[in-house]
């Protein structure tokens, strides 16, 4: 933080320059230089804002802590004396705390920037030598080709592939959106200083902007002045879609398209008539628990969930409107210079007839540029949809000018794209406009699918009250919960098969009413946004067949039979052991198979890393998770069910955290098959998604691992028939 390097830092530099075993690499020197530059900037800010005395105090503490780390026994008592003196001086205490907090934020930025430098350097080296950087999408596709994967096999994999990271909230991510945006601005300026050839005056201007942001950071509160509520957490999650994911995901799809075209030209998996003529299937999407996870969180109410869903839709619409504004100027094809398909012209004529009168004058100005007219109309329709979405669902009024769903929006975009392709506009159709089409296909109007999670006890209690009302209302001793499992299952199947509604009116206890109303809210989300707005309905602490059938009964009563994925969550060691038996029994149930048939025979199953680790310890948990995945994959295969395993992992190693690429590659044979969900815990979301280049690298590694792990030949050399070799390999399933 000093305005010049400290003597110990100078000595360290000299030591490194002399060489030896600990000599730094160029990357080390770059990182140290970045840290020093940002530290000096912070030092200037401290002097300017608080005075030299605070900077001297901070530097003294820094020097003492460094000395203590190096073994100086006198440093500890001096640190205690200094910090003891601070207790009586609140202003100095706040200044020192602010200095170190800001310093660590800047150091983290410098480290992120160094990661970006390394990624770019390695990518450049790979491209110059016409090869792929390890753990990238291109490397995976090349590996599949060299390994003998046939185009038809790869086509089947891509048609079925689903990779879905799911954002969760976490109280340890305390930075406000305001601070995140300032750090994003700093990241942009540092990147431009690195990557752009700037004039000396431009460099000075950049550093002045960095200093300005430094002062703004210093005078801003890093954390909120109150505990964040659920909708605050929703907004924090949306930040990463707005600043990173919305623009990034089309690049991931484009990279896969390029790799397929290079490694499998003119085949069933390349773009064009022989392959994916309308683009790749939508294999990479995002989910969210924020606003939908009510297990143990009484603050996630019906209103909160509806508001969270509406906020996600509003964010998607605002992002589309922002992009459409750019397209309006880009697609300035004139009648005198280009041609247009009759299909497009007919659609435009119909829209112009229906357009609101106050838009007529603006539309008439561009009567010789039909694409611009269409983009104006699309922008207006998105605006009408946004205005409608800002109203509570119960108060929303029909608006014929609003898009009823994302499908109509996508149809408008595809109409323009077809017209461009048919009239010498291929470059326009496949450039920036293709990104917008891809974004609409990925994000729809829902942005991210919201999973709903509820504890199995809530369903059991609700069903017990409902069945008591219908079966033995005069018998206070009748308790569905006390019945044997076989009898519970029989009653549930009977009720699911019955056309009679259970809950025409909500006239039960508060918890039962809330549980029943939740399923009705899901149905509303399907109707108001899209079926994709809701992901899976997750039943935590699932231990039996009846736990799943209880949720299915409540879903059926809300008109959701076969319209929502019901995912049991197996968490403890014992539950993981029983999980394959529970799922096999469900697959034997005709009524459950009927539900699955309407879900394309897809079954999502969630496995918990944190609770199993607490339950059985790290090694036992890892082995139990590995065995459970093997047996669940076998059970699904036996019943011809497509399995999606949802890995509920935390950010720390103790909760299942670690490099996702290695963990996916370590999954048991047959357990991935192109389909995987995994939680992105709140405490790691910022680290993975704040910086676009780092987020891109993370997604490259995810797709790389899923492609490789799903290849039939991938696991051929893993272990003997008795699984002894797999036992040690299974530790990797803890995502270490």
Catalytic positions, written as ranges: 170, 614
Number of CB atoms found within 10 A of residue 292's CB: 29
* SS3 call for 645: strand
Q: Where are the beta strands (DSSP E) in 329-479?
A: 449-455
Q: What is the DSSP string of 173-232?
A: --B-HHHHHHHHHHHHHHHHHHHS---HHHHHHHHHHHHHHHHHHHTS-SB-SS---HHH
The four Cα atoms 256, 257, 263, 269 give a dihedral, to 10 degrees, of 110
Q: Please tell me the distance from the alpha carbon of residue 236 to that of residue 682, in angstroms, as a whole number.
A: 10
Q: Which position has the token pair 């509303």?
A: 524
The HSE-up count of residue 530 (CA atoms within 13 Å, CB side) is: 22
8 membership: H or E segment, kind and range: helix 7-17
Distance of CA 594 to the CA centre of its chain: 31
User: How is 40-76 classified by DSSP, letter by letter?
Assistant: HHHHHHHHHHH-HHHHHHHHHHHHHHHHHHTT-TTHH
* Token code pair at residue 673: 């098959």
Identify which of 255, 269, 263, 274 has the alpha carbon closest to the alpha carbon of residue 145.
263
DSSP 134-149: TTSHHHHHHHHHHTT-
Q: How far apart are CA 316 and CA 277, in angstroms?
A: 26
What whole-number distance in Å separates Cα of residue 359 and Cα of residue 348? 14
Closest by CA to 440, choosing from 327, 600, 586, 557, is 327
Q: Identify whether the C-beta of residue 364 lies closer than 8 Å to the C-beta of residue 310.
A: no
Contact (Cβ atoms closer than 8 angstroms) between residue 82 and residue 57: yes
Q: What are phi and psi of 168, to 5 degrees?
A: -125, 160
DSSP string, 660-725: HHHHHHTSPTTS-TTEEEEEE-HHHHHHHHSSHHHHHHHHHHHHHHHHHHTSTTTTTTS--TT-HH
Q: Which residue has the tokens 């929303």?
A: 396
Q: Is 418 left (phi over 0), alpha (psi -120 to 50) or beta?
A: alpha
User: Cα separation of 679 and 142, whole Å?
Assistant: 28
Q: Which two tokens mark 442?
A: 């990925």
Could you tell me which of 713, 699, 665, 700 has the C-alpha nearest to residue 144?
A: 713
Pairing state between β 602-608 and 449-455:
unpaired
Instruction: Locate 195 and state its tokens.
Output: 């990557």
One-character DSSP codes across 295-324: TT-TT--HHHHHHHHHHHHHHHHHHHHHHH
């Amino acid at each position: 933080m000093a305005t010049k390097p400290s003597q110990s830092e100078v000595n360290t530099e000299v030591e490194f320059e002399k060489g030896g075993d600990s000599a730094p690499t160029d990357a080390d020197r770059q990182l140290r230089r970045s840290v020093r530059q940002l530290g000096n900037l912070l030092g200037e800010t401290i002097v300017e804002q608080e005075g030299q005395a605070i900077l001297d105090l901070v530097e003294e503490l820094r020097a003492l802590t460094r000395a203590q780390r190096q073994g100086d026994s006198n440093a500890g008592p001096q640190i205690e004396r200094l910090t003891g003196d601070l207790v009586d001086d609140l202003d100095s205490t706040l200044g020192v705390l602010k200095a170190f907090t800001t310093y660590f934020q800047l150091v983290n930025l410098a480290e992120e920037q160094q990661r970006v430098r390394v990624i770019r350097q390695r990518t450049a080296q790979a491209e110059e030598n016409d090869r792929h950087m390890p753990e990238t999408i291109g490397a995976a596709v090349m590996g599949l080709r060299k390994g003998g994967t046939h185009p038809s096999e790869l086509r089947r994999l891509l048609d079925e592939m689903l990779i879905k990271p799911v954002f969760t909230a976490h109280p340890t991510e305390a930075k406000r959106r305001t601070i995140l945006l300032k750090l994003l601005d700093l990241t942009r300026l540092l990147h431009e200083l690195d990557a752009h050839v700037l004039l000396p005056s431009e460099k000075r201007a950049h550093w002045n902007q960095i200093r300005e942001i430094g002062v703004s950071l210093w005078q801003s509160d890093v954390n909120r002045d109150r505990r964040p509520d659920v909708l605050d957490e929703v907004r924090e999650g949306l930040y990463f879609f707005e600043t990173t994911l919305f623009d990034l995901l089309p690049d991931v799809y484009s990279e896969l398209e390029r790799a397929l075209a290079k490694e499998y030209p003119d085949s069933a998996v390349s773009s064009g008539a022989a392959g994916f003529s309308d683009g790749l299937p939508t294999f990479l999407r995002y989910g969210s628990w924020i606003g939908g996870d009510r297990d143990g969180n009484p603050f996630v109410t019906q209103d909160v969930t509806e508001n969270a869903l509406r906020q996600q839709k509003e964010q998607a619409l605002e992002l589309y409107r922002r992009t459409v504004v750019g397209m309006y100027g880009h697609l300035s094809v004139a009648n005198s210079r280009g041609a247009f398909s009759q299909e497009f012209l007919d659609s435009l004529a119909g829209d112009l007839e229906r357009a609101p009168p106050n838009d007529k004058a603006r539309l008439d100005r561009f009567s010789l540029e039909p694409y611009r007219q269409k983009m104006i109309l699309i922008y207006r329709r998105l605006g009408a949809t946004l205005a409608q979405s800002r109203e509570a669902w119960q108060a929303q009024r029909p608006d014929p000018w609003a898009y009823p769903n994302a499908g109509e929006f996508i149809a408008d975009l595809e109409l323009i794209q077809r017209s461009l392709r048919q009239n010498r506009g291929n470059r326009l159709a496949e450039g920036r406009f293709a990104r917008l089409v891809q974004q609409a296909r990925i994000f729809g109007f829902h942005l991210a699918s919201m999973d709903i999670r509820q504890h199995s006890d809530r369903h059991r209690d609700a069903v017990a009250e409902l069945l008591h009302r219908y079966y033995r209302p005069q018998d206070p001793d009748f308790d569905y919960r006390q019945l044997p499992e076989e009898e519970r299952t029989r009653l549930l199947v009977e009720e699911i098969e019955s056309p009679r509604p259970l809950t025409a009116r909500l006239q039960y206890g508060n918890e039962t009413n809330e549980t029943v109303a939740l399923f009705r809210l899901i149905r509303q989300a399907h109707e108001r946004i899209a079926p994709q707005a809701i992901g899976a309905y997750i039943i935590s602490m699932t231990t039996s067949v009846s736990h799943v059938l209880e949720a299915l009964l409540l879903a059926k009563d809300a008109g959701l039979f076969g319209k929502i994925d019901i995912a049991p969550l197996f968490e403890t060691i014992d539950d993981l052991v029983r999980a394959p038996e529970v799922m096999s029994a469900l697959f034997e149930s005709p009524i459950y198979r009927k539900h699955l048939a309407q879900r394309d025979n897809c079954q999502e199953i969630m496995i918990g890393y944190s609770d199993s680790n607490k339950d059985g310890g790290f090694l036992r948990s890892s082995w139990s998770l590995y065995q459970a995945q093997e047996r669940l994959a076998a059970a699904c295969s036996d019943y011809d069910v497509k399995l999606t395993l949802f890995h509920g992992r935390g950010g720390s190693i103790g909760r299942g955290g670690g490099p996702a690429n290695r963990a996916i590659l370590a999954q048991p044979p047959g357990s991935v098959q192109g389909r995987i969900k995994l939680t992105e815990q709140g405490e790691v979301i910022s680290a993975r998604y704040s910086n676009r280049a780092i987020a891109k690298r993370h997604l490259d590694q995810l797709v790389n691992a899923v492609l490789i792990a799903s290849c039939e030949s991938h696991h051929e050399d893993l272990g003997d028939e008795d699984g002894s070799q797999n036992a040690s390999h299974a530790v990797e399933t803890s995502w270490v």
